Amino acid sequence: MKYYIFLVMVLLSLNGITQNKTIAFGEKLVYTASYNMSGLLTDIAQVKMETSEVKTSKSTLMRLKCTATTYKKWDNFFKIRDLYESYVNPKTLTPYLYKRDISEGGYYKFMQYKYNHKSQLVKSLKRKKNSEGETWDENKTVKINASTKDIVSTLYYIRNLDIHKATPGDQQNFTVLFDNIEKTISVKYIGKETISTKIGSKECYKLAISIKGSDILKGSNSNLLWLTADANKIPVYAKFKIPVGNGELKIVSATGLKN
């Protein structure tokens, strides 16, 4: 189950976006994450995606914050307290700082990326903890491609793409840095589909996601994402299949939308 909640939301990242027309400061999306337990999909965690304004001495950034928390009754079974966040340019969604702080069933890891886009380098800090609570750090400098992003900034980046111009079957490859390794993600546009959600009936863009050279996501067209086919492109529903099972992500509420 490790990492599964956000891996199902890994999306595409392309060059060419010059202006953010979709994401506003103060947006908040809330989801229920379900996992197949003994043949039944069971709600086990809440996922939140929030944006906020952060002012530094030199600029104003947008904080993209994603959290996952198991409901209390499941904490004894598999406790999850995950935080993923990326600090980006609010106009282009270019990331400058990324943090991942995960605690899953006794497993702990902290990752931090500091981007230098001019030199195409990332200064990476990885912190782990053993069963006695002792921590140790590992520092690296990672060379990246010009279009490489982290999971969180990539997730928001897609919502500014002109998906309405795509034809069913169109496929795009792109790169995400995860655990200091660049992974190639393939996203295929399936078409439009209207689905019922907690925020109403929504016409959506349906996408299929896969990761090249990895068994993190299983099956052909088994990992799917639905984005509203409107100016906000809200992720409202996702289905995923991983080595230890399958599950879903369903939206509960959406507030602070830009459009």
pLDDT tens digits, 70-113 = 999 999 989 999 999 999 999 999 999 999 999 988 889 999 99
Q: Is residue 49 part of a domain?
A: yes
Q: Is residue 12 part of a domain?
A: yes
Query: How far apart, in whole angstroms, are the C-alpha atoms of residue 227 and residue 230?
Result: 9
Nearest CA to 242 out of 210, 201, 203 is that of 210
Q: What is the CATH number of the domain that holds 109?
A: 2.40.360
Q: Which domain holds residue 153?
A: 4-253
Q: Is residue 259 part of a domain?
A: no
Q: Is residue 88 part of a domain?
A: yes
Question: Are the C-beta atoms of 176 and 149 separated by less than 8 Å?
Answer: yes
pLDDT over 50 (residue 14) = no
What pLDDT was estimated at residue 220? 67
Q: Is residue 102 part of a domain?
A: yes
Q: Is residue 112 part of a domain?
A: yes
Q: Is residue 124 part of a domain?
A: yes
Q: Is residue 198 part of a domain?
A: yes
What pLDDT was estimated at residue 215? 64
Q: How many domains does the chain have?
A: 1
% residues pLDDT > 70 (the chain): 89
What pLDDT was estimated at residue 10? 45
